[in-house]
Structure 1
Amino acid sequence: MTDKSVILSAKDVVVEFAVRDRILTAIRGISLDLYEGEVLALVGESGSGKSVLTKVFTGMLESNGRVAQGSVLYRGQELTQLKTHKEWESIRGKKIATIFQDPMTSLDPIKSIGSQITEVITKHQGKSKEEAKQMAIDYMKKVGIPEADKRFDDYPFQYSGGMRQRIVIAIALACKPDILVCDEPTTALDVTIQAQIIALLKSIQEEYRFTTIFITHDLGVVASIADKVAVMYAGDIVEYGTVEELFYDPRHPYTWSLLSSLPQLADDKGVLFSIPGTPPSLYKEIKGDAFAPRSQYAMAIDFEEAVPRFDISETHWAKTWLLHPDAPKVDKPAVIQNLHEKISQKHQGGLRK
């Protein structure tokens, strides 16, 4: 196993939302260890629970949501016992910060860019106004804002989408957090700017050695930035491993489907693989493997019994009955064979080593 220490540990976490007199179970008994200094990617379709899970770590669940079961320990502190905004102040931002996908909604439109960064520095680092201003300008330069000292007093509407996202990253840096949650930080940006922001996040992570949770549906991004990957489906983690294990030795049919959808694997006509069907309703109890109704590899047991965790290596596990010793042997789809060359061509240098 890794010799790095566990910085955050979630055990059997269940998250429920009350919606129109019904209960929606968004997270279904997730257990996960986050290791210090690593980049963990959470991947899966929209609605799989990626953002909800990380909101548990920062106490940012919507008012109709609650942690119904389980434990979340951050450096030995039980986060599920924190209830009020006051109690969360010592954690949210200061210890666990979040970069959201839409920078415009993350910034106050009536406050200058500089004031929003200095406010964080004075609050979390205890600096004077003069010190905070210089530090804010330094952070702006670090994230690539040109003529930062001249643009210190600008307002968000005077910045482009990519520049606003850089400012959101600067604010996160100013918090000096232990854990940085990046919630699809490039989704609202065009492709060219996306690549710049990903490169910026990689360089910052390497410099500051944050423990990072990177939420994305783009497996290409995962290949270039992550150390570990957790594949989420219907509120549960169905496969977990190093980035190399998930790309070169995936075991869950849902992971196979996600990899088969990579743009590099489009056919000669540019047609991409699409996963048939839709995710299950989270209002209902899920019996067996939640992905079974959409999987061509499903067996009778997949519709009857919950799948236990099967360990493949010390760092790799999956929840699929295909890993049971008595299960028929099936090969992963031909389309995801020899992924190394295809990924390397798209992302220079291939998978992160």
Structure 2
Amino acid sequence: MSNKKIILSAKDVSVEFQVRKRTLRAIRNISIDLHEGETLALVGESGSGKSVFTKVFTGMLEANGSVATGEVTYGDVNLTNLKTNAEWEKIRGGEISTVFQDPMTSLNPIKTIGSQISETIIKHQKKTKEEAKEIAIDLMNRVGIPEADKRYDEYPFQYSGGMRQRIVIAIALSSRPKVLICDEPTTALDVTIQAQIIALLKELKKEYGFAMIFITHDLGVVASIADKVAVMYSGEIIEYGSVEDIFYDSRHPYTWALLSSLPQLATTDKLYSIAGTPPSLYSEIKGDAFAPRNPQPMAIDFVKLPPKFAVSDTHWAKTWLLDERAPKLAKPEGIQGLHEKMMALYVKEGGAS
């Protein structure tokens, strides 16, 4: 258990969308806490609900979406009670900020880079135009923009993809948030730039002390940045633990499948992939949502939703495999001895650099 103060908390949160007179339940009864200074990774395939869940924290759900059950609190503020943009402006950007996946859609193409950073500083830090420019140039330097004072007046099209993502991070940090949500910030970048952005986020987190929610489908990224990991599937968290718990002592078959899909672990030309597709969120899901794709399901998986089974004080999973009556299944061969395999990769990559 963490001794740090809880800064953001979700309790039994469900999110629904009205689509063509039908109800789509995108998030199903999620409860989770984020502690001060902690990095929580939300991991899962596309469509698992990662981005939708975090939009609840900033009031950015689409117009046809709503929080159907539960509540989200930031400090002593119940965020589920906020309705208008005026109410949300006190939280969104200033207290909780977001770095989105595609910097080209986050930046205004007809405004200079410097003006986009400065206007956020003026709004949230109440600085003059001259003060804001000075702070903006300092931020640009901190996120690794060379000759920031000269590039302050340039436009987004004059920056590379990696540099644009650094600017988006600078804008997100310009309001000095307590929580930074990173929504797959490295997906559109090549591997080398990905590593640079991850290193930058870790460095800035250490300097500024914010808590971070990092959304990704790539468990390989998680290993290098997260303290805690929440594995999401079909709108719910099915396993939660420290990064060591998830990598070296995972218990849910879906988590096993995600780990097996790591390209770093491929020993042949064929990369492991998870068979089948996730269930429709329009329909009521009975039992374990992953059961139809599980290579070794039990009969109860199709009938009854598994509860949370505690593995340790820091680790739980929703799988009937943790019931004392369940058969003892071994992890897939590809992720057995994962600690040793990851250490070997680390040594190999270190030796290659």
Is the TM value for this pair above 0.5?
yes
Q: Partner residue of 1:149?
A: 149
2:188 aligned residue: 188
Instruction: Give, in whole Å, the separation in 2 of the partners of 1:249 and 1:190.
Output: 30
Cα offset, 1:337, TM superposition: 1.2
Match for residue 90 of structure 2?
A: 90
CA distance in structure 1 between the partners assigned to 2:70 and 2:304 by the alignment: 22
Q: Where does residue 235 of structure 1 map in the other structure?
A: 235
* 1:28/1:247 CA distance change after superposition, 3 Å: same
Query: In the alignment, what sits opposite 1:324?
Result: 323
* CA drift at 1:195: 1.1
- The residue identity in structure 1 corresponding to 2:320 is W
Q: Provide closer, same or farther for how the CA distance between residues 348 and 75 of structure 1 changes in structure 2, counting only shifts above 3 A.
A: farther
Partners of 1:189 and 1:3 in 2: CA distance? 36
- Give the match's secondary structure for 2:312: coil
The 2-side partners of 1:318 and 1:54 are apart by: 21
In structure 2, the partner of 1:253 is 253
Residues 71-130 of structure 1 show CA distances to partners (whole Å, capped at 9, x for unaligned) of 101102110111111110000000000000100100111111000111011111111111
Alignment of 1:82-161 (within 5 A): 82-161=82-161
The aligned counterpart of 1:17 is 17
Deviations 1:8-46 (A, max 9, x none): 110110100111111110001111111111000000000
Check conservation: 1:27, 1:53, Cα contact below 8 A.
yes
Q: Could you tell me which residue of structure 1 aligns to residue 276 of structure 2?
A: 277
Is 1:307–2:311 an aligned residue pair?
Answer: no
CA shift at 1:331, angstroms? Answer: 1.3
Question: 2:111 & 2:300 partners in 1: Cα distance?
Answer: 57
Alignment RMSD: 1.2
Partner Cα distance (2:36, 2:330) in 1:
35
* Displacement after TM superposition at 1:345 (Å): 4.1
Q: Distance in 1 between matches of 2:109 and 2:347?
A: 38
Cα distance, 1:297 vs. partner?
A: 2.5
Shift of 1:341: 3.0
For 1:341 and 1:168, the matched residues in 2 are separated by 37
1:213 paired with 2:229, answer no
- TM-score between the two structures when normalised by the length of structure 1: 0.97
- The answer as to whether partners of 1:278 and 1:294 remain within 8 angstroms in 2 is yes
- 1:41 aligns to 2:59 (yes or no): no
Structure 1 contact 224–347 (Cα < 8 Å) conserved: no
Give the C-alpha shift of residue 49 in structure 1: 0.2
Aligned partners of 1:15 and 1:29: how far apart in 2? 9
Letter in 1 for 2:61: L
Residue type at the aligned position of 2:197 = I
Structure 1 position 332, deviation (Å)? 1.0
The answer to whether the 8 Å contact 1:310/1:319 transfers is yes
Deviates further, 31-40 or 339-348? 339-348
- Output the CA distance in 2 between the equivalents of 1:297 and 1:245: 22
Distance across 1 between alignment mates of 2:160 and 2:262? 29
Aligned partners of 2:308 and 2:185: how far apart in 1?
A: 31
| Distance across 2 between alignment mates of 1:143 and 1:341 | 34
Runs of at least 4 residues off by over 6 Å? none
Alignment partners' CA distance in 1, 2:114 and 2:149: 9
Equivalence for 2:343: 344
Q: Unpaired segments of 5 or more residues in structure 1?
A: none
- Residue identity in the other structure for 1:283: Y
Bigger mean CA offset, 231-240 vs 13-22: 13-22
One-letter code of the match for 2:190?
D
Q: Output the CA distance in 2 between the equivalents of 1:143 and 1:347.
A: 26
Determine the C-alpha separation between the residues in 1 that align with 2:31 and 2:307: 12
- Gaps in structure 2 of 5+ consecutive residues: none
Secondary structure of the corresponding residue to residue 47 of structure 1: coil
Residue type at the aligned position of 2:309: F
Query: Does the aligned pair in 2 maintain the 1:10–1:70 contact within 8 Å?
Result: yes
User: 2:289: which partner in 1?
Assistant: 290
Q: Which amino acid aligns with 1:331?
A: A
- Distance across 2 between alignment mates of 1:222 and 1:12: 25
Shift of 1:347: 4.5
Contact 1:220 1:343 in 2 (8 A): no
User: Whole-Å Cα distance in 1 between the matches of residues 251 and 104 of structure 2?
Assistant: 39
Q: Which amino acid aligns with 2:22?
A: R
Q: How many Å apart are 1:349 and its aligned residue? A: 10
Instruction: Report whether the alignment pairs 1:335 with 2:339.
Output: no
- Note if contact 1:112-1:154 (Cα within 8 Å) is conserved in structure 2: yes
Distance 1:7 1:46 in 2: 27
CA shift, 1:296, in A, is 1.9
Percent of pairs with identical residues: 71
Q: Measure, in 2, the Cα distance between the counterparts of 1:190 and 1:9.
A: 34
CA contact (8 A) 1:220 1:347 kept: no
